[in-house]
A and B are shown apart, each in its own frame.
Chain A
Amino acid sequence: MKTLLKTVLIALRNLNRQKRRTFLLGGAIAFGITIVTLINGFAGSFVENVSENFSNILAGHIFVQGVEKTADGKEQWRIADDDILLEIVAEQEMPVTFVSKRSEFTGALIFQGESIRQTVVGVDWDEERYLRERLVLLDGEFENMLATNDRGERNGIILTETIAEALNVELGERIIARMRTIAGQQNVGEFVLAGVSYDPGLFGQLSAYADLSYVNELLTLQPKQYQTLGIFLTDLGLIDQEADQYFEELSRRVNVFERNTEEEGENPVEALFEQADEETWSGVRYRLFTLNDVLSEVDEIVRLLNGAALVILLVLFVIIMVGITNTFRMIMYERVKEIGTMRALGMQRERVQILFLLEAFLLAMGGVLFGLVVAGIIMLIMSQIFLGLDSAIFILLKNGYFTFAVRPLQVAMNAGIVAGLTILAAFIPSRKAALMPPVDALRA
């Protein structure tokens, strides 16, 4: 122990002896660790942020949809009576923030000869206050959505900037919508542009909002009917557990489509939807899916990000390793006389090697610590910058801010890889130093 402490002391002082070299090598290690920690930290919060933002867009964490088979064998997508669905929420004492009811159609929006395909989501604006806070309107006001036309219909629509520009439509102008009813018949409606929202890019398709009552009317749903019940929980971490309990109770009371029927690599929601076509059934059946099912590919993205971080770490450190090997070879030649002296005084070969390897290890750990501190500072600074709710990368942010979640195990693994590679890089020069006959070393 005493010997090891003295060896550590010598190794530390040797590192301090060549400050510039230590700083450069340690700096290179720190740089690698900083980059990798930032990627890991970003990937760590990626799932949570994407899930949270998606839950805002989709208005829920757990979703229930009703599908009805008509006498002529056609499927109609609607929840005609939600008493049981809401009863279960209450009975299970689910930790719910709110429950959303939505209907939607995908059809053509037409304005002065221009036509564009768009999904229009029917929202109960009186209930979904969060969406009103969340949507960034570049033009128009939410109050316009509550206005009725001369037939008493709330036919306002909010389009994204891109769609509005593509249609060349101005606030207050009328847009024709062509879609199919739930029975599959062609229908036409008329919307008034009430607001223009910021285009969140990838999710623009989901971002045309109208009033639930008018969308229901166009779909020929009854006033109290809708298509999707969204249950918004208080905590993302409870999704699977609550969904399982809800599904268990739901399947006891009504006919349901089975969950988790997907094959390897298949999206669970797609598999759930395929059941309606593949199975022979009649009456009303319900399907339940969760945000985690919708975002099952996000885990794959996180795995890819972490994989990329690992590749970056390895590539960076293979380059750094070459530098370390050369440096330690140089150090060996510089200290050859010192090695000879230590050997002459009675230091065993392995102790000489340990001294060199310890130096490499301490250098690596110093670099790792410095890199982590730098990464921490960068994360702290980045997480203080408000990028806005209308940021192009809003889906990756939490309320407009970057967030990072670094797992200690990942940090330990990265530190282990760096330490291992650094020691490996120093191994050959240290072995050479240890095997050098003392007389040759002293004569050098």
Chain B
Amino acid sequence: MSIVRLEGVHKVYPLGETHVRAVNGVTFSIERGDFISIAGPSGSGKSTILNMIGCIDTPTEGTVYIDDQPTSGLTDREITRLRHQFIGFIFQSFNLVPVLNVFENVEFPLLLGTEVAPKEERKRYVDFLIEEVDLTRWRTHRPNELSGGQRQRVAIARALVTRPQIVLADEPTANLDSKTGEGIIELMKKINRELETTFIFSTHDPSIMGIADHIIRLLDGNIIENRRTAPAGDGA
């Protein structure tokens, strides 16, 4: 059963008097529990597709379905709630809140919902995630006191804290050295296996692409390859 489905999605950006076609009528679906890589060179439309799946951008044409629900026509409030409940984000440049420490950054999304869990419950789960990403020692440190790899692990914990069904990672290893990058992908894979969370990440690094069990390759806004290397949630 697909958790994400794109049907004839176009994205056109105005650029002065001309228009740039970033995504050119793509159609594909992603299964629940997938560990999927959207690959392609710069400008191929990877980030645009991730943004549309993440409901922080809207298609010019076509429809994005999340859990079989079309996202077009939703109000900003509804779409924000959908993002909060359904989707976790991992950004290329980590995007942690600089004034919050590791624990507070991870906890932050939990405070944005309409219903906030009791403090003890929040603390237990946040601490569990911090332990999962191996940052217990750094729990009270602010982002500027952490390395790039550590920051990205905080971002992973933060992305998972609301127990989302989908985690989107836009080039999560781009700002990291290869060894750290591999570590991050392995961590994502581990969580994908343990929590059965769908991970969708974009990359142009072939070595990282290989870990994915579903690869969608883009070029100039078109899908040039949509290949499954393992069944969804297989954990290969």
Contact = CB atoms under 8 A, between A and B. Distances in A.
B116 A2 contact: yes
B91 A3 contact: no
A442 B99 contact: no
A6 B108 contact: yes
B51 A439 contact: yes
A346 B91 contact: no
A195 interface: no
A2 B117 CA distance: 10
A199 to B, nearest CB: 63
B197 to A, nearest CB: 16
Contacts of A346: 80-81, 83-85, 109, 112-113, 162
Given A2-B116, A346-B80, 9 more contacts: A2-B119, A3-B111, A3-B112, A338-B98, A341-B95, A342-B112, A345-B112, A442-B91, A442-B95
Contacts of A337: 95
Interface in A416-441: 437-439
Interface in B135-192: 158, 162
A14 interface: yes
B97 A342 contact: yes
A247 to B, nearest CB: 67
A351 interface: yes
A338 B97 contact: yes
A339 to B, nearest CB: 11
A15 to B, nearest CB: 10
A253 interface: no
Interface string A1-26: 01100100010011011000000000
Interface in A297-339: 337-338
A349 interface: yes
Given A2-B111, A345-B158, A14 B84 contact: no
* Pairs of residues from A and B, 9 with the lowest C-beta to C-beta distance, nearest first: A346-B84, A13-B99, A439-B57, A341-B95, A438-B56, A346-B112, A439-B56, A3-B111, A345-B109
B116 A10 contact: no
Interface in B181-214: none
A378 interface: no
Interface in B78-104: 80-81, 83-85, 89, 91, 95, 97-100, 104
Interface residues on B, range: 20 to 34
A348 interface: yes
Contacts of A347: 80, 112
B221 interface: no
Interface of A: 2-3, 6, 10, 13-14, 16-17, 337-338, 340-349, 351, 437-439, 442
Nearest to A341: B95
Nearest to B158: A345
B76 interface: yes
B119 to A, nearest CB: 7
Contacts of A2: 111, 116, 119
Contacts of B162: 346
Interface in B1-49: none
A348 B56 contact: no
B233 interface: no
19 contacts: A2-B116, A2-B119, A3-B112, A6-B104, A13-B100, A338-B97, A342-B97, A344-B54, A344-B89, A345-B83, A345-B108, A346-B80, A346-B81, A347-B112, A349-B76, A351-B112, A438-B56, A439-B51, A439-B57
Contacts of B98: 17, 338
B165 to A, nearest CB: 14
Nearest to B161: A345
Interface in B101-136: 104, 108-109, 111-113, 116, 119
A111 to B, nearest CB: 80
Contacts of B99: 10, 13-14, 16-17
A6 B111 contact: yes
Contacts of A348: 77, 80, 112
Contact of B56 (A3, A16, A338, A442): A442
Contacts of A14: 99
Nearest to A337: B95
A10 B100 contact: yes
Contact of B89 (A345, A349, A351): A345
Contacts of B158: 345
A341 B76 CA distance: 15
A358 to B, nearest CB: 13
A17 B91 CA distance: 23
B153 to A, nearest CB: 17
Contacts of B91: 341, 442
Nearest to A350: B77
Contacts of A338: 95, 97-98
Given A3-B112, A347-B112, A348-B77, A341 B97 contact: yes
A347 B162 CA distance: 13
B49 to A, nearest CB: 12
A368 B46 CA distance: 50
Contacts of A16: 99
B54 to A, nearest CB: 7
Nearest to A6: B111
Contact of B80 (A3, A17, A340, A343): A343
